[in-house]
Amino acid sequence: MKKDNFFKINKICCIGAGYVGGPTMAVIAKMCRDLEITIVDLDKNKIDLWNSEKLDELPVFEPGLCEIINECRGKNLSFSTNIKEAIESSQMIFIAVNTPTKESGIGAGEASDLGYVESCARDISLYAKDNTIVIEKSTIPVKTADIINKILNCSSSDRKFHILSNPEFLSEGSAIQDLLKPNRVLIGGDNEKAVDGLANIYNRWIDNKKIIKTNVWSAELSKLTSNAFLAQRISSINTISAICEKTGANINEVSKSIGLDKRIGKYFLQHGPGFGGSCFKKDILNLIYISKFYGLPEVAEYWEKVLDINNWQKKRISRIVVNNLFGTLKNKKIAILGFAFKAETNDTRESSAIDICKDLLEEGAYLSIYDPKVDFEKISQELLPNENLINDNMNILSAKTIAMAVDDADAVIILTEWDEFKDICWNDFSEIMRKPSWLFDCRDVIQLNSIDKGKINLWKCGYSI
Ligand code: UDX
Ligand code: ADP
């Protein structure tokens, strides 16, 4: 039997160079200059971009990230498509691949597609030369560690694999700060040495008290539960936004008042067009799936309601736009400001803008979309996934500036809270819009007193105006 040597970790590999793998490894590389870290991905295009001299073209936009890449790349951080070589030489391997919701087969629409995770486990099983710590970093359903374990530990070789769950709590847009100063780091595992091997890395910059060691299933379930609770708060406040619009209560006054109760707390009470992002919906769907699987239909229904309300909020906004534009959007130009699922990221996954834009397109509108970080190719892929009409589709236009988007539009809808949307002089912009002009502020970025009612009609989510 080989002797475990988990304390001597000097080479780390991360499979998956996306929104999780990229920033997480960049921060570990920055904080542990003696560790050699390789991030690998199947996608050569993506790896080329990570290796590009043009730091403003990194595949992930995240404040503070390009500075770290500039500092560590070519020193103790590298990006490669050579998965075999990276696995062979590493004592610790992070799995940070995507886990989309299954589109067909058992659990379609609810369960996660673990094909990518399985394929990583098979690569590790094939190439790892020695005892290896394998860490689940992707957002995964409870019991995924079991699958990885079965694949890795089924061969007769005398290598030992220890599987840990180390869920990622970073929030896009503040990922670097979240990684540098996390609320907590969760490490689930049943092998003390392996858990300590990972804890000792984080411990270089994170206080021991913040490193929580649990069993694997608790770590996996905690991740889903954290995200489900956060999403539930957003759905809750969004239901209250609709009540505010009817009653004259002010949504911000209500959020502030309830948030000052320490038992409730002030975070994640911002109303808006519904939550997006790669995690919330998927994690709740996973909770729904396992609840049904374990014969807990009431639990499944409870969490389903959080998603229903999220969809309802998006539909509610589309309906309000159509109703205010006299019930039809045919031949009307609508300017969409913001397509990312929130500010400070170029990620569009599950962005509320997708569903709202699709509704407006169905009503016959043509959309002029402006987002400072999302390119038109991504927008087209989200809105017309089955078409090859990137440039030909006359109903969607990409605007290079806010003014181009707004020019001759009947209405403007603000869907992402980018800073640059906060100081626009709408009284001036209304001059280049069609009359009557409408501004729909779904992100609460417009000051009520900055708008001249005679020039532009304002609708603000959560306000009765
Ligand atoms: C989330 C979790 O916050 C993070 O801990 C986890 O690891 C991954 O999933 P992320 O998806 O990056 O992070 O973004 P988050 O800031 O949570 O926002 C998700 C969505 O909720 C966004 O669309 C955002 O606009 C919306 N949101 C957030 C609100 O509508 N109101 C709020 O008060 C907060
Ligand atoms: P996340 O937000 O979870 O980081 P992303 O989609 O941004 O998700 O990144 C996941 C990355 O994992 C993608 O770049 C994808 O190409 C990569 N990937 C998926 N499966 C594999 C695999 N078997 N080997 C290497 N890379 C993979």
**Band of residue 1 on the pLDDT scale cut at 50, 70, 90:** very low
Q: What are phi and psi of 203, to 5 degrees?
A: -60, -15
Number of C-beta neighbours around residue 202 at 10 A = 20
- In DSSP terms, which residues pair with 77 in a beta bridge? 37, 73
Report the residue among 342, 349, 352, 371 best suited for mutation to probe ligand 1: largest number of ligand atoms under 8 A from its CB. 342
Q: What is the mean pLDDT of residues 256-260?
A: 98
Looking from the CA of residue 170, the nearest atom of ligand 1 is: 7
Average the pLDDT over 14-30 and give the result. Answer: 98
Q: Give catalytic status of residue 279 as yes or no.
A: yes
User: Which atom of ligand 2 is closest in space to residue 138's alpha carbon?
Assistant: 3
Structure-token pair, residue 123: 């690569």
User: How confident is the model at residue 392, as a pLDDT?
Assistant: 53
Question: Does residue 227 line the site of ligand 1, with CB under 6 A?
Answer: yes
Q: How far is CA 19 from CA 104, 278, 419, in A?
A: 25, 10, 22
Ligand number nearest CA of 272 is 1
The ligand whose atoms approach the alpha carbon of 186 most closely is 1
User: Does 310 contact ligand 1 (Cβ within 6 A)?
Assistant: no
Model pLDDT for residues 188-237, shown as the tens digit of each residue: 999 999 999 999 999 999 999 999 999 999 999 999 999 999 999 999 99
Section 247-273 average pLDDT: 97
Going by CA atoms, what residue is nearest to atom 14 of ligand 1?
171
Residue type, 328: T
Checking if the pLDDT of 389 tops 60, the result is no
Phi, psi (rounded to 5 degrees) for 13: -125, 145
Q: Return the residue whose CA atom lies nearest to atom 7 of ligand 2.
A: 18
Those residues with Cβ within 8 angstroms of residue 32's Cβ, 6 or more apart along the chain or in another chain: 76, 201, 204
The candidate with the shortest Cα–Cα distance to 367, out of 418, 412, 420, is: 412
Among 25, 40, 42, 94, which is best to mutate for testing ligand 2, by the most ligand atoms less than 8 A from CB? Answer: 42
Identity of the residue numbered 374: V
**Alpha carbon distance 237, 208 (integer Å):** 35
Q: Which atom number of ligand 1 is nearest to the Cα of residue 270? A: 33
What does the alpha-carbon distance between residue 350 and residue 278 come to, in Å, rounded to a whole number? 6
**Whether residue 7 has pLDDT greater than 70:** no
C-alpha span between 435 and 121 (Å, rounded):
59
* Confidence grade of residue 140 (pLDDT, cut at 50, 70, 90): confident
Give pLDDT tens digits for 360-377: 999 999 999 999 999 999
pLDDT at residue 206, rounded to an integer: 98
Residue type, 436: P
| Contact 277 CB / ligand 1 (< 6 Å) | yes
CA distance 349 to 116: 18
* Neighbouring residues of 424: CB distance < 8 A, sequence distance ≥ 6: 402
Average pLDDT over the chain reads 94
Cα(5) to ligand 1 centroid in Å equals: 39
Given a cut of 60, whether residue 4 has pLDDT beyond it is no
Residue (of 383, 369, 235) closest to 306 by Cα position: 235
CA dihedral over 179, 354, 356, 434, signed as positive or negative: positive
pLDDT in tens, 156-182: 778 899 999 999 999 999 999 999 999
Alpha-carbon radius of gyration of the chain:
24
Ligand 1: which atom is nearest the Cα of residue 416? 25
Catalytic hit among 32, 244, 279, 442:
279
pLDDT of residue 348: 97
Beta bridge partner(s), residue 337: 370, 414
Distance, CA of 422 to CA of 303 (rounded, Å): 34
Is 236 a pocket residue for ligand 1 (Cβ < 6 Å)?
no
The rounded Å distance from CA 171 to ligand 1 centre is 6
Sign of CA dihedral 407, 410, 415, 417: positive
Cβ neighbourhood burial of 161 (10 Å; 0-12, 13-18, 19+): buried
- Whether the CB-CB separation of 222 and 184 falls below 8 Å is answered with no
CB atoms within 10 A of CB 365: 26
pLDDT at 384: 87
Q: Whose CA is nearest to atom 17 of ligand 2?
A: 16
Q: Which ligand has the minimum distance to the alpha carbon of residue 233?
A: 1
Which residues touch 220 (CB under 8 Å, ≥6 apart)?
A: 136, 140, 141, 142, 143, 144, 145, 165, 167, 188
Kind plus residue range of the DSSP H or E element containing 433:
none
For the CA of 417, the closest atom of ligand 1 is 25
Q: What are the pLDDT digits (tens) for 312-332?
A: 999 999 999 999 999 999 999
**Ligand lying nearest the CA atom of residue 251:** 1
Helices 352-362 and 376-383, axial angle in degrees (round to 10): 70
Query: Cα–Cα distance between 200 and 186 in angstroms, integer?
Result: 13
